[in-house]
């Protein structure tokens, strides 16, 4: 994508679960090479928004365009194949497998339709190519010295970065990261922030769900704030932070 291109356009997307409106006609965009912060209290609808964009859940109504094409309603694997990568709120690694295998397997599963069928069909050439690509992505995020370590032995901060490497192996244009800094120590957050700003420098677009305001403010010029499924505010961090509705949602309850 060219700098400034609107990579992701979310238009009045809605999701109800029975009587609960989890995502209430939310609209926002992400441009090429931009990190957008998506913030809001627990239960605001942030993860559900990710699930709608990535095709994990069907939307009730609305539209999502990725690089100008409608993706809402496509299967998750098709959306991923077009260049939308993601990580989940809870670490989803295979702890007994190596760091390298975790990334290679993740890329492989994305490239193939069914999990089991995909795993069985990898031939030798495929496997070598996937391992090579996995190692490249791990070096890109600074995990090059841990390729053969068991994933479960890494510190939480490294596991989160490993998950980002796994998403990168599918060659995304846009990354959706769901609370990658949650539970991390200060130094781990610093390392994660360095990885994210490096990716942005390389042209990656990132939609970042995060609770730690200091962390997100360091990385973004654009915040979208959700509360009870609704978009409360949107704009530069300083402006959004001074918004009375935002202060109320965070402090007033």
* Residue from the set 40, 44, 47, 240 that interacts with Mg ion by CB under 5 A: 47
* Cα–Cα distances in angstroms (integers) from residue 136 to residues 159, 196, 199, 213, 222, in the given order: 17, 17, 14, 31, 30
Q: Is 107 exposed, middle or buried (0-12, 13-18, 19+ CB in 10 A)?
A: buried
From the list ligand ADP, Mg ion, none, partner contacted by residue 43 (C-beta under 5 to 8 A by kind)? ligand ADP
Return d(Cα 244, Cα 130) in angstroms, integer. 50
Instruction: Examine residue 220 and tell whether it contacts Mg ion (CB under 5 A).
Output: no
* Residue from the set 13, 26, 30, 40 that interacts with ligand ADP by CB under 6 A: 40
Instruction: Examine residue 47 and tell whether it contacts ligand ADP (CB under 6 A).
Output: yes
Size of the site for ligand ADP (CB under 6 A): 11
Contact assessment for residue 50 and residue 176, using Cβ atoms and an 8 Å cutoff: yes
Instruction: Examine residue 45 and tell whether it contacts ligand ADP (CB under 6 A).
Output: yes
Instruction: Examine residue 51 and tell whether it contacts Mg ion (CB under 5 A).
Output: no
From the list Mg ion, ligand ADP, none, partner contacted by residue 220 (C-beta under 5 to 8 A by kind)? none
Count of beta carbons in the 10 Å neighbourhood of residue 238: 10
Count of beta carbons in the 10 Å neighbourhood of residue 14: 16
Instruction: Examine residue 151 and tell whether it contacts ligand ADP (CB under 6 A).
Output: no
Size of the site for Mg ion (CB under 5 A): 3
Q: Edge-to-edge strand order for the sheet containing 69-70?
A: 20-31, 6-17, 61-66, 69-70
Instruction: Examine residue 22 and tell whether it contacts ligand ADP (CB under 6 A).
Output: yes
Instruction: Examine residue 48 and tell whether it contacts ligand ADP (CB under 6 A).
Output: yes
Instruction: Examine residue 157 and tell whether it contacts ligand ADP (CB under 6 A).
Output: no
Instruction: Examine residue 46 and tell whether it contacts ligand ADP (CB under 6 A).
Output: yes
């Amino acid at each position: 994508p060219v700098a400034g291109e609107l990579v992701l356009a979310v238009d009045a997307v809605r999701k109800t679960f029975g009587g609960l409106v989890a995502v209430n006609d939310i609209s926002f965009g992400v441009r090429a090479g931009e990190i957008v912060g998506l913030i809001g209290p627990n239960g605001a609808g942030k993860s559900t928004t990710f699930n709608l964009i990535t095709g994990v859940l069907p939307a009730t109504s609305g539209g999502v365009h990725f690089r100008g094409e409608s993706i809402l309603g496509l299967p998750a694997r098709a959306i991923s194949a077009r260049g939308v990568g993601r990580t989940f709120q809870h670490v989803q690694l295979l702890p007994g497998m190596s760091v390298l295998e975790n990334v290679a397997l993740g890329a492989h599963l994305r490239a193939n339709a069914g999990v089991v069928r995909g795993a069985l069909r990898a031939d030798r050439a495929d496997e070598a190519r996937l391992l090579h690509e996995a190692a490249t992505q791990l070096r890109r995020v600074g995990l090059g010295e841990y390729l053969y370590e068991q994933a479960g032995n890494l510190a939480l901060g490294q596991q989160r970065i490993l998950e980002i490497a796994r998403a990168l192996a599918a060659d995304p244009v846009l990354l959706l990261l769901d609370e990658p800094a949650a539970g991390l120590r200060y130094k781990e957050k610093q390392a994660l922030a360095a990885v994210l700003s490096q990716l942005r420098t390389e042209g990656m677009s990132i939609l970042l769900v995060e609770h730690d305001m200091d962390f997100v403010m360091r990385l973004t010029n654009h915040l979208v704030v959700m509360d009870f499924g609704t978009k409360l505010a949107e704009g530069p961090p300083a402006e959004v932070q001074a918004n009375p509705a935002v202060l109320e949602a965070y402090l007033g309850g």
